[in-house]
Structure 1
């Protein structure tokens, strides 16, 4: 940076202010032929030049920052004026070109190039975006808003860091243009808060500052700034940066929408298939696609079969709607209890429920959970019957059988239609035990008793002769959980 503030104005400032003076004379001479918008831009340019004239005799960091703001304003309004009237007014256009060359000399320290016709500014076209310009100086905010509005962007401004954060909370901003030197909350703190917020951190932040301190620049980039432009900024470069920022924000927004859609789809799948399969099976399918492959493996599981006693007779005495209401109340309550104990519901067979503990996920307490689940199911019958009485429906009693053994667990069926199911002799044994259950009774096979780690109240040990099985099956009744 070539600016060297001292008590004696530097040559660059004298040349620049002379160029401003020449422009003022030409503007006053052609005043009658200029429209109101051009008059307003000229007024703001001359206002910035007057401020710069005061600033060049002041020393200090703040003065340097103020000079950069004034140079940025002069350059910005001169370029917009050149774009609007340069082709129509040769003399005034040439004066604007000389003024811009003087600004470049002040900023870059290069010798002024010979005056020439204005060059065609490169046009940067981008998707319109929602831009937040943060600067404590009103003239800077207005200049940036004018620049970007011409490119089709919607621009809002904030005069302080606190106002910028409020705007971020209320609107979906595509790009933030952030000045560093502001009172109260400076730009670095605003940047830190934006990048610390999970909802904002993907919003590109372009720092625009008159400071060229390398440590400060590195600090901003490390804090998450996406770019850093110096005042007075090149408008074409700014448009290119904004275009890149909008594209990044749009990609992020699309990715976020896609992620949210995937989450909604997964929730829908879990909710839908969870009505037909256990949560563990749904998870197995979603997280391991190979879980859909046909086949299975040998698993030791505890099988639970429950059934309403005399349901066929009861259903013949009731209307269809009453039967369905009574059955849904019962199955709904039992399902919640089974799922709370991590049981896998294999299927509903009318009023019967076939449940397995130990597949697809095995736990060390499969047998104990099965017993606790059965006890909770019997305990819940009091509440179900209370609702039945209120609805004018008969009371129900259930029998529950528990048996432990090795079965084949896996996907059974065909490529077009399959289910996660269980095959093996223990399944048949459990069903036969359940046939011997009385209402309110839980019968447990000896194979299950041997697997129990907790203490339970067991009674009525007896041998059951089961059709299709040569040897008798030893079972006991579980009435309640004992105390250690």
Structure 2
């Protein structure tokens, strides 16, 4: 038989019809002693037999429709054997002969009486199964099978209904028919595997079609397995067990991934209050990020300090001092980080920041100067807020110096910090000592590192404590337009 239609084998069909007629005779004799549930199952079984007769009487038989009928017959026959076999041996034998005939028909091998594989239970964690099939008897049959194994089964008569169920519930495994009227099973499969939240859900295609090209197409589209109708319930349970395990592993991995993301965000948020974002990233993303030691870097160093802060703090209550310093540091921190500066530390009211480590950029000196100009411009808003709160106005001096330092983790294995060591650090500190409120002083080395266009004010030479050479410094007034 082909996928479209073909001439049915008279030999296996006759064998199947004789087995069904024999079963009817046994059922008539025992009908009154059976439970209502068993009688309903026999009614479904004989309904399938009537539809099989109609199909076999047609000049040509559609394989997909035939496999659907055989699936229903086999399914209800196996359920009845399981429920009645121990009590009614003659009925059990008749059901066994029918199943053998169905097996022969399924394999399309005329005259060969293949036995039905021995059924056994497959232990599996209960799962939430979605069965998608346009035929009601197939949906009911699958639900009956799987519910006996402890699974929760919901059914859908078509593709749209299936997608709605996936949108509303966390499904472990999808059992999918291919031939459906409103939406083809391949389209349902495509949408499942393209959806970011559903793509990990295992999909087992159950179809009467056995063309290799269609099977390959489904597997390539993301189907996890492909079973033929009439399916073996033990094989189906084994496939579902494997699918549930894959889904549970994926769910656990996704949970771990989300926990790691939350932990990383917490670490970045927490340590970001004490270290710059670049340092936190360097520590988290590089295995050697926590190793002690450093390397030589060309950086531009910034030191900023509130003028006469000691005198001001003596005149204020402790809470006012905290408000004043936190307002200032918060504003300055945002500006420095906006220019990708690395804040090394706060020393009281002083700020030590570096441009060029741990990540170097070609415009480190220019960004440092632009940052300093914005920091001075921000003092107007800070002082406006201070006046509103009855706090004194403040002014800052900022010094910039460019030079080679050792940048890296400094300290011990128990306690360390990302810091900078070298003569340029001392030079910057000495320049900052002589800056007045509102001033920005830069060293000669920083000036030589800048792009053209800055407006430079007075220049002067300084003789400072601890440094033999004269320091030439320049007033930065504004950046180029």
2:321 to 323, 336, 348: 323
**Between 127-136 and 28-37, the greater mean CA deviation after superposition:** 28-37
Secondary structure of the 2:15 match is helix
- TM-superposed deviation, 1:264: 1.4
Pairing 1:328-343 to 2, within 5 Å after superposition? 328-343=326-341
Measured against aligned partners, the alpha-carbon deviations of 1:311-367 in whole angstroms (never above 9, x if no partner) come to 111112222222112211111111111111010111000010000111111111110
In the other structure, the counterpart of 1:308 is 306
The separation in 1 between residues aligned to 2:99 and 2:231, in whole angstroms, is 12
In the other structure, the counterpart of 2:88 is 89
2:233 to 229, 232, 235: 235
Q: Is the 8 A contact 1:174 1:245 kept in 2?
A: yes
Q: Is the 8 A contact 1:302 1:370 kept in 2?
A: yes
The separation in 1 between residues aligned to 2:425 and 2:3, in whole angstroms, is 90
Q: Is the 8 A contact 1:132 1:155 kept in 2?
A: yes
Secondary structure of the 2:160 match is helix
1:268 to 266, 269, 287: 266
CA-based RMSD of the aligned residues comes to: 2.0
- TM-score (normalised: structure 2): 0.96
In the other structure, the counterpart of 2:427 is 429
1:393 to 375, 391, 394: 391
The separation in 2 between residues aligned to 1:18 and 1:409, in whole angstroms, is 90
Q: Which runs of 5+ in 2 are unaligned?
A: none
The separation in 2 between residues aligned to 1:222 and 1:22, in whole angstroms, is 44
The separation in 1 between residues aligned to 2:304 and 2:381, in whole angstroms, is 17
- TM-superposed deviation, 1:110: 5.3
Pairing 1:462-473 to 2, within 5 Å after superposition? 462-473=460-471
Q: Which runs of 5+ in 1 are unaligned?
A: none
1:171 to 169, 172, 177: 169
The separation in 1 between residues aligned to 2:3 and 2:85, in whole angstroms, is 28
Pairing 1:22-421 to 2, within 5 Å after superposition? 22-59=22-59, 63-108=62-107, 109=109, 111=111, 113=113, 121-421=119-419
- TM-superposed deviation, 1:75: 0.2
Q: Is the 8 A contact 2:77 2:95 kept in 1?
A: yes
The separation in 1 between residues aligned to 2:393 and 2:42, in whole angstroms, is 92
- Size of the aligned set, in residue pairs, is 480
Secondary structure of the 1:342 match is coil
Measured against aligned partners, the alpha-carbon deviations of 1:5-50 in whole angstroms (never above 9, x if no partner) come to 7788823223222322322232232222211211121111111111
Structure 1 residues 119 and 452 mapped into 2: Cα distance closer, same or farther (>3 Å)?
Answer: closer
Secondary structure of the 1:363 match is coil
Q: Is the 8 A contact 1:6 1:58 kept in 2?
A: no
- TM-score (normalised: structure 1): 0.95
Secondary structure of the 1:450 match is helix
Q: Is the 8 A contact 1:48 1:73 kept in 2?
A: yes
